[in-house]
Amino acid sequence: MKTRTVQRTALVPHTIDGRTEMVLDRYDVEIPAAPRDWDRIVLGTVTGAAAVIGVASIAWSTASIGDLLARATIAPAAYAAAGVFDLVWLSCMALEWLARYDADRAKLPRRAGYWALAIAMGAVGAHGWIADQLAIGLVGAAVSGLAKAMWTVVLRHHAKPLDSRTQQWVDKQRAAVGGRLAMVSVRRELTRAESAVAAEQAAIGAASPEGSGRSPETPEDEADAPDEEEQLTPVGPMTIADAVRTALSSGITSPEAVLRYVRKVADANAKEASVERYLRGLRKPA
């Protein structure tokens, strides 16, 4: 039986001058070595070979299709576009790899990969036909076909489809998490919309003296000024800066009134110094 050496540690007492401390003691032990996993080694080797074949396919297709497109445009643009052909079906293979545990989700990238492969092979064959080297064009097109076939076989070995019940459980969990994730974006959007509505309503109310049904020039309004922030209806969560800006745009100028409004709609524990700092910043001439 093959063994391998493993270093272990243990706390042991060690005494010097009558004082004992627990220290780490390192020692080696021999444990049985696991047999070599030839299946995994072979599969890893084949996967590496498929990667090399994919790179070679990209190089050949890019050179062939790039030469074809260079007849109608500049070489840099032609070869950049040529690289797209094989990269598309290889990207579809990557998506198929990510969906290797879900056969239904893997169908779309698999089909898209076959269509992209057919287009790439057709472009390589067209290059050979136009260059009066049809045989070379057909052989070159077979390079992409062989690369795709190789990757298809490798993916079939890596794929682990789930049974029907497990797949249904996974789908429900994915849907639940996806719903929560979607609601994060929806709530953020609603918050922005509500803040925009609040600011718009405040701006319209400040610009229209008739909006409150009272004339702001009357002494009665001046006497009621300390309570003017009560007329604003908070809509949606607001920051301290937004609340100060809304108060000023609504005609609330008293620092005490602004502070009361901020504590009402934004932060009940807002500090007076913070509100005054925002007021100074917003009142500075542009």
Residue 278 lies in a domain: yes
C-alpha pair distances (Å), 172 with each of 38, 97, 180? 37, 21, 13
**Helix ranges restricted to H, 19-160:** 38-69, 75-98, 103-130, 134-158
pLDDT tens digits along 169-227: 888 888 888 888 888 888 888 888 888 888 887 777 765 555 444 444 444 444 444 44
What are the residues facing 21 on neighbouring strands? 14
Query: Which tokens hold the place of 172?
Result: 């429900």
pTM for the whole structure: 0.52
Which residue among 158, 183, 199 closes a domain?
158
My answer on whether 138 and 196 are in the same domain is no
pLDDT at 284: 67
Q: Which helix (H) or strand (E) holds 13?
A: strand 3-16
My answer on whether 132 and 230 are in the same domain is no
Among 93, 78, 82, residue whose Cα is nearest residue 147 = 93
Residue 101 lies in a domain: yes
Residue 265 lies in a domain: yes
My answer on whether 193 and 244 are in the same domain is yes
Residue 237 lies in a domain: yes
Residue 214 lies in a domain: no
My answer on whether 79 and 175 are in the same domain is no
Q: State the burial class of residue 145 (Cβ atoms within 10 Å of its Cβ: 0-12, 13-18, 19+).
A: middle
Looking at this protein, which amino acid is placed at residue 95?
L
Which residue among 88, 123, 158 closes a domain?
158
User: How many separate domains does the chain show?
Assistant: 3
Residue 282 lies in a domain: yes
Q: Which residues of 27-65 are buried (b: 16+ CB within 10 A; e: fewer)?
A: eeeeeeeeeeeeeeeeeeeeeeebeebbeebbebbbbbb
My answer on whether 142 and 185 are in the same domain is no
My answer on whether 69 and 121 are in the same domain is yes
pLDDT tens digits along 49-65: 988 988 888 898 889 88
My answer on whether 168 and 286 are in the same domain is yes
My answer on whether 176 and 283 are in the same domain is yes
My answer on whether 68 and 133 are in the same domain is yes
Residue ranges of the chain whose pLDDT lies below 70: 206-237, 284-286
pLDDT at 215: 46
Give the residue numbers spanning the domain of 18: 3-32
My answer on whether 93 and 174 are in the same domain is no
pLDDT at 228: 45
Residue 100 carries which DSSP code? Answer: T
pLDDT at 226: 47
My answer on whether 71 and 14 are in the same domain is no
My answer on whether 248 and 275 are in the same domain is yes
Among 89, 103, 114, 107, residue whose Cα is nearest residue 159 = 103
Residue 88 lies in a domain: yes
